[in-house]
Chain A
Amino acid sequence: MALWIVLGVVVVLVLWAIGVYNRLVGLRNQTTNGWRQIDVQLKRRHDLIPNLVATVKGAMEFEQNTLTAVMEARSRAMAATGPAEAGKREGELTQALGRLFAVAENYPQLRATENVKMLQEELAGTENKVGFARQFYNDIATTYNTARETFPAVLAAGALGFQPAELFQITVEAERNVPTVDLSMKK
């Protein structure tokens, strides 16, 4: 009888440990996937920028500096290695784009061009997607970290190779106050 009780307890404990382990694996994979999603969206943004610059170039020939700044920020962002540097460079790119849109406001004929409007929408969408991908990554990474650091998972998590996930932080101070570019279609 006592044997059966002990056996029962052991089975329950093992099942429970499997459950905890599987939850951690699931969360870790979601976290990794979340990180990749950020990259996907960043690449999309990098691909869109030459298009944008080519489209506005003609109308904005007096703003060569702004355009060059965007292109340079883009190359630096693409060349960046490691999350910390990438975060910083992407932040600078966001700023450069913000300035470009701010300057573009001075060119009504440019804003009226359908092509530009469409590109602006694409860029606004991509900016948002980058932002939301980061937000989702942070949310899921926080859930993972919490699951990992909660007793009793914390006792075994390190030994089983569950490393804490690093949260994405805004590295450029100025990115906190991105100049709000109003790309909405006002009615």
Chain B
Amino acid sequence: MNLFQQQAANRRRTWLVMAMFIALAIFIGAGLDLYVLGQGGRFIPVGTIAALAIGGGQSYWSLQRGDRAVLLSAGAVPLDEKATAATTDDDRLRYRQYANVVEEMAIAGGVPPPRAYVIPDADPNAFATGRDPQHASIAVTDGLLATLNREELQGVVAHEMAHIRNLDIRLMTVVAALIGMIVLVSDWSLRAMRFGGGRRSGKSKNGGGGALGVLLFAVWLLAVILAPFLAQIMAMAVSRSREYLADATGAQLTRNPLGLASALEKLEHASSATQSIKRGTAHLCIVDPLERRLDNREGRFADLFATHPPMAKRIEALKKMAYERA
């Protein structure tokens, strides 16, 4: 697969998972309304609507305010401030280079330059945030600037620019809101059944009925119980596929997949967790800021809950792109 096919395949996969997500949410919501809350004459899906409203409100808030909250919690400092305050020539040069690289990648992506931030943390990492390319920010740690050369830094910034251009931040925000909604509905359902389960058996449901109805109810009950896990697993699948996509789009911007590949190799060996980046931001980072990345084996159960694909696979994919370009 070449770069563009990889991107196309990736987008299809994202849409598939999103469709499954929405289907799961609606299925659980409809079940709540049908089996648990019950209804008189007309069918009004109160539970589903309420959950959708709460989920929508949450995602609206985080789209409007989320980027500032994330930058604040990571202790990110605007690059301008950092550059002015820099005392050594090395630092000045480094910040200038970072500013240039950000501008370069914005030009390559045909998007306005995002605001650049520096996080005073010695562990190399980077993330992007913002609801659209016009309101985007990129933050890198001091450790990253110190570890990577220009080409590698370019690869990392291109990866972040790709997250911005592919609207991944918006996507993951929507995913987070959907998870919230699913968890909420499943929680409501379980509570309602515990306290008011009698209603269901008493009325024995209008449509459906019979063996099919019982089966459907059983499936729904199972979905309610498993929903929080299922949602998490699907969200992480989206996150991982967007990481591959950002790697591929980033390589399209720099036309130099090896820059990012070599950066990832260096980041892989930086062994500690990034202290200043909180758990909720993990899916926005270039590498998983938690300790999880230390474990590079594949196919384990824990992989289902990883925000990032295994480093070795990402590097391999990038090297393959480089090989096919040559």
Contacts and interface: CB of A to CB of B under 8 A. Distances in A.
Interface of A: 30, 34, 37, 41, 114, 117-118, 121-122, 124-125, 128-129, 132-133, 135-136, 139-140, 183-187
A30 B150 contact: no
B240 to A, nearest CB: 27
9 contacts: A117-B93, A122-B100, A128-B100, A129-B107, A132-B107, A132-B108, A139-B110, A183-B150, A184-B150
B107 A125 contact: no
Contacts of A118: 92-93, 96
A51 to B, nearest CB: 14
B110 A136 contact: yes
B101 interface: yes
Nearest to A125: B100
B4 to A, nearest CB: 11
A30 B110 CA distance: 9
A136 B107 contact: yes
Contacts of A121: 93, 96-97, 100
Question: Which 4 A-B residue pairings sit nearest by Cβ, starting from the closest?
Answer: A125-B100, A132-B108, A184-B149, A114-B89
Given A117-B93, A121-B96, A187 B107 contact: no
A41 B104 CA distance: 10
Interface of B: 89-90, 92-94, 96-97, 100-101, 103-105, 107-110, 146-147, 149-151, 154, 253, 255
Nearest to B88: A114
Given A30-B110, A132-B108, A136-B108, A114 B100 contact: no
Contacts of B253: 132
B122 to A, nearest CB: 14
A132 B104 contact: yes
A186 B110 contact: no
Nearest to B254: A132
Contact of B93 (A30, A41, A185, A187): A185
A128 B97 contact: no
Given A114-B89, A128-B100, A135 B108 contact: yes
A61 B97 CA distance: 28
Contacts of A183: 150
A34 B109 CA distance: 11
Nearest to A135: B108
Contact of A187 (B147, B151, B255): B147
B113 to A, nearest CB: 11
Contacts of B103: 125, 129
B104 A128 contact: yes
Contacts of B146: 187
A125 B92 CA distance: 15
A125 B105 CA distance: 11
A30 B108 CA distance: 13
A136 to B, nearest CB: 5
Nearest to B266: A187
Contacts of B105: 132
B89 A125 contact: no
A122 B150 CA distance: 12
Given A30-B110, A135-B255, A129 B93 contact: no
A150 B101 CA distance: 36
Nearest to A38: B107
Contacts of A187: 146-147, 149
Given A118-B92, A122-B100, A184-B149, 11 more contacts: A30-B110, A41-B107, A117-B93, A118-B93, A125-B104, A128-B154, A133-B107, A139-B110, A183-B150, A184-B151, A185-B149
A140 B110 CA distance: 9
